[in-house]
Amino acid sequence: MHQSVPLSDERLRWRRQLAFAGMAFAMLIFGANFVVSRHAVLNGLSSHDMLALRFVTAGFLLLPSFMMGGGLRDCAGLGWKRGLVLAVMSGFPMSFLLMTGLTYAPAAHGAVIGPGTVTVIGIVGSVVLFGALLTRQLVLGVIAVLIGLACLGIAGTTHSNPSIVFGDLCFLGVGLVWGGYPLLIQLWRVNALKATAVVSVLSMAYLPIYFAFYFRGFDVAPWWVLLLHAINQGVLNVIVGLWIWSWSTPILGPSVAGRFPPMIPVVGTLLAIPVLGEIPSGLQIGGIALIIAGLFVASWRRPAAP
């Protein structure tokens, strides 16, 4: 007699498959953003334009969530000290470094240097703050990432365009600033989506500065181009990608979810070749490969036994 699978098991399997697809889509969003943003700053839009599109979109969309969480009284329940710290680490300063770096250096560099640096800081911070076990696998992953970063640094100094080094330093700054963000989210036990609302709303403080000093009119690009970048920056990268991440991780478990972030530099590097025509040199390919391999080694964990 045929026995049907219980509905609860079918639903669990469907949710897990949806979580897999969602995480892959989130990594595509994050990886492609380096290429999309690089293309924008090379074709008429400035880093300041991109930042304004990012925060005016995400800020207004998440303003109701911010106000329902407590609003200005206590920074949506986080407290102003913590809210400002998180806004520095994941808001305007970090985003400004990212967009500035993409103005001067290839998208593939941003896609690997930032996540690589974040991984190193995350591992060190987990050991120091939470007493995580420093395994040989983590050490090997960190070493590979550091050697890869060194290769990219050397490649930048030997390149005919010296501004690449400045761009790479901006990407390094992105990793250094943003690397502490997930650690503080975990340490303070802050809901990731609430933190995103706080960061986005507080980062709107940049808008008066933008309109006073950097606004060049609404005709810097066709309206549909501005709309697409507003959706990519403020909706997909700030809201949708993070929501998918937050929803999928508990379903897949941290060991499986941790295997997805290395897809970010893979997507960014491969997409930059046909879209931007940015073909890495031999030394750059070696550095990128080492960083990606290091990320895979450091993030790969066996799922817990059922």
One-letter-per-residue 3-state SS of the chain: CCCCCCHHHHHHHHHHHHHHHHHHHHHHHHHHHHHHHHHHHCCCCCHHHHHHHHHHHHHHHHHHHHHHCCHHHCCCCCCHHHHHHHHHHHCHHHHHHHHHHHHHCCHHHHHHHHHHHHHHHHHHHHHHHHCCCCCHHHHHHHHHHHHHHHHHHHHHHCCCCCHHHHHHHHHHHHHHHHCHHHHHHHHCCCCHHHHHHHHHHHHHHHHHHHHHHHCCCCCCCCHHHHHHHHHHHHHHHHHHHHHHHHHHHHHHCHHHHCCCCCHHHHHHHHHHHHHHCCCCCHHHHHHHHHHHHHHHHHHCCCCCCC
pLDDT score for 306 = 47
When pLDDT is cut at 50, 70 and 90, the band that residue 1 belongs to is very low
- Span 74-87, average pLDDT: 93
For 73, other C-beta atoms within 10 Å of its C-beta total: 10
172-182 pLDDT, tens digit per residue, is 999 898 888 88
Q: How far apart are the first and last CA of the chain?
A: 28
The rounded distance, in Å, linking the Cα atoms of 162 and 51 is 25
Q: What is the pLDDT of residues 163-206, one digit of tens each?
A: 888 999 999 999 898 888 888 888 898 888 899 999 999 999 99
- Find the angle CA(248)-CA(203)-CA(48) to the nearest 5 degrees: 105
pLDDT tens readout for residues 233-276:
999 999 998 888 878 888 887 667 777 888 888 899 899 999 99
Buried b (16+ CB within 10 A) or exposed e, 12-42: eeeeeeebbebbeebbbbbbbbbbbbbbbbe
Other Cβ atoms less than 10 A from the Cβ of 207: the count is 16
* Displacement of CA 113 from its chain's centroid (Å): 11
Q: What is the mean pLDDT of the segment spanning 30-50?
A: 93
Rounded Cα distance, 100 and 232, in Å = 18
Residue percentage of the chain with pLDDT more than 70: 93
Q: How confident is the model at residue 305 (pLDDT cuts 50, 70, 90)?
A: very low
pTM: 0.86
pLDDT (tens digit per residue) in 126-149: 888 888 788 888 889 889 989 988
